[in-house]
Amino acid sequence: MRDSQIIRTEYSDIMKKSFIDYAMSVIVSRALPDVRDGLKPVQRRTLYDMYELGIRYDKPYRKCARIVGDTMGKYHPHGDSSIYEALVVMAQDFKKGKVLVDGHGNFGSIEGDGAAAMRYTEARLSKLTQEVYLSDLDKDVVNFVPNFDETEKEPEVLPVRIPNLLINGAEGIAVGMATSIPTHNLGEVIDAVKAYMKNNDISTRQLMKYLKGPDFPTGGIVVNKDELPEIYENGTGKIKIRGKVEVEELKGGKKRLVISEIPYTMVGTGIGKFLNDVAALIENKKTNDIVDISNQSSKEGIRIVLELRKDADVENLKNMLYKKTRLEDTFGVNMLAVAGGKPETMGLKKVIEHHVDFQFELATRKYKHLLAKELDRKEIQEGLIKACDVIDLIIEILRGSKSVKDAKACLTDGITENIKFKSNISRKMAAMLRFTERQATAILEMRLYKLIGLEIEALQKEHEETLKNIARYEDILNNYDSMADVIIAELDACKKSYNEKRRTVVENAEEAVYEEKKIEEQEVVVLIDRFGYTRAVDAAAYERNKEAADTENKYVISCLNTGKICIFTNRGKMHQVKVLDIPYGKFRDKGTPIDNISNYASAEENMLYICDEEQFRFAKLLFATKQGMIKKVDGSEFQASKRTIVATKLQEEDEVVSVRVIHNGHHVVLQTENGYFLRFPAEEVAEKKKSALGVRGIKLQKKDALENVYLFEEGMETKIPYKDKDVTLNKLKPGKRDGTGTKVRG
């Protein structure tokens, strides 16, 4: 039996360590981009895999399924959906400042349509990605690390020559933190980097003379320009963006609003939500200025058209759209990225500083690699030039050697023992040769045509070019300004090739002020039929059709159009409905199901009492439940802004059977299913909070339950039908609350 050691430790310590390990793995290896190349691991691995597969911008497209499968098998074992999703986003020009993947097929739309399955779509690297993100991978500029199963090598970071973190932005949710970085204009970002390189002490405000602010692929207008310096200083804040709205004049003095650019936050399902919100404003009579909505967007761009009535207040309507819909929205900035293996929130200057440091590191490694190659080339060239001067001797050595080893030994160390020479002079000259190992190999491998005069001249010119390159590379490596000039030249070339005009306007705009039209207060009557169809009619129309209205409808409530009606249900809930939300029309209109305009669900609960909110504001409400519990609740407790509140507390398997307005002059009669009637004064009903159960109103017999509650006033004869006869409530024997009551036979 092997020796084993039991380590005793706190369970909380193990949980803490495990959670921290998991959190850091998600933060560093999945959710957050690296500040150096601005890419998350899944993006970096996908691009590298495409590079390895040779899917270049000038080569045919390849199936995305092939790319995803290869990436998952070699570098990213986290499921195909996450890899394909990353690939799709890198190909969507409405999400990225610069697309990194050239997609062929259905890669989704700005309106939220998803991409086709990976077996149908194809992709290849974009020209920008190949030339700016991956071009120097063969020059030992970045470290390569083992993949997850140590069968392949992958780059720790891509040698990206532009600040991709700023240009393409980033979004990601890690554990306990999230990143949200807007996209920016490539030309402006490059200008800001150059300004920093020329003056490391430059301030954020000075950098923003070059980088004006975010440049979203969807355009739009940033309206809080004055707040941007602070946001870019701290790396956190809120950017307010609006869609671009234009007014088009039509014949007959009519106008229409055309939305040609949307806030970046509306990309996806936000467009459909915006259209629904506008439709809701019309339905709820918040505006009468819009007569039609149409979404005419296409591949050419966004075009949402709102047709207006002739005398519409255009400015007020625009402000209403900014206030009531997502046409004006907020982009939360949190410039969080992985720097030095740790998550860090950085301002604009810090991001550029990290980028410039990375560029100097790349340039140093690149030019050290190139210098080493040129020095190797110089060594060989010098050997060949020297060999051309003594070519007859070298040929004599080769002809007199018995093996390559002997010839090489003579060329490198002057060893002549095993070689036949034509003369002693040749032997003495051969003994003086001291070629290097590389030079000797190159001489032995040299072809005879290299001895042609023109070839020798070409060799000498090539040697001169090599010497120039060595001098240049040494200058770059030993001189900060020379290296900076090289980096700036590369940035300028990138800007010249790939810059585009700014799409987002940055300005200071006035706060959208929307004056809501005051609704003229009038008396209406809300009618609800036995099927739950609801409508509101003018009080005069109700009076003209009073008999029919009372006969055909289960509930008739008189109220003001500015008020609310309250629905009390057997589940102990109270649902509120604004009268303005109820369709207003003619007496014979069908109306709308009450379920559609409130939280009331007819399939799950029953209406017990419906009234205008003013009806019980200064009164008491009597609640009675199936298990015989009763209480009075002050009406002020039901003044709430929520659409649904809990109106009373219920015991298990209990439900409300009655809700009524009660006064002190009332007498209460409780009737059970088995025909027991109990009468007592209203004063005996205890007043409780709505969150209380109440008190017992009647002692129930076995298998009996409270069925009805009646109220009447002394001196007024009140009859109710019970089975096949009428029961006069006034003639019932008065009793006390919590009695058993009197049995009434039908």
Residues identified as active-site: 120
How far is 638 from 661, CA to CA, in rounded Å? 13
Helix (H) or strand (E) holding 63: strand 62-63
Q: Which residues contact 496 (CB under 8 A, 6 or more apart)?
A: none
Three-class secondary structure assignment of 642-658:
CCEEECCCCCCCCCEEE
How far is 463 from 467, CA to CA, in rounded Å? 6
How far is 625 from 616, CA to CA, in rounded Å? 20
Which of 520, 508, 509, 512 lies closest to 320 in space, CA to CA?
Answer: 512
Q: Quick one: residue 448, left, alpha or beta (phi over 0 = left, psi -120 to 50 = alpha)?
A: alpha
- What is the three-class DSSP state of 744? coil
DSSP summary character for residue 316: H
Asked whether 28 and 332 are in contact (CB, 8 A), the reply is no
How far is 388 from 450, CA to CA, in rounded Å? 9
How far is 645 from 124, CA to CA, in rounded Å? 56
Asked whether 549 and 542 are in contact (CB, 8 A), the reply is yes
On the 0-12 / 13-18 / 19+ scale of CB atoms within 10 A, 703 is: exposed
Bridge partners of 577? 565
Asked whether 393 and 429 are in contact (CB, 8 A), the reply is yes
Q: Report residue 558: phi and psi, to 5°.
A: -85, 135
Q: In the numeric block, which tokens belong to residue 567?
A: 């629905």
How far is 488 from 93, CA to CA, in rounded Å? 27
DSSP string, 457-515: HHHHHHHHHHHHHHHHHHHHHH-HHHHHHHHHHHHHHHHHHH-----SEE-B-PPP---
CA dihedral for 284, 289, 291, 293, sign (positive or negative): negative
How far is 492 from 487, CA to CA, in rounded Å? 9
Asked whether 690 and 638 are in contact (CB, 8 A), the reply is yes
Asked whether 549 and 525 are in contact (CB, 8 A), the reply is yes
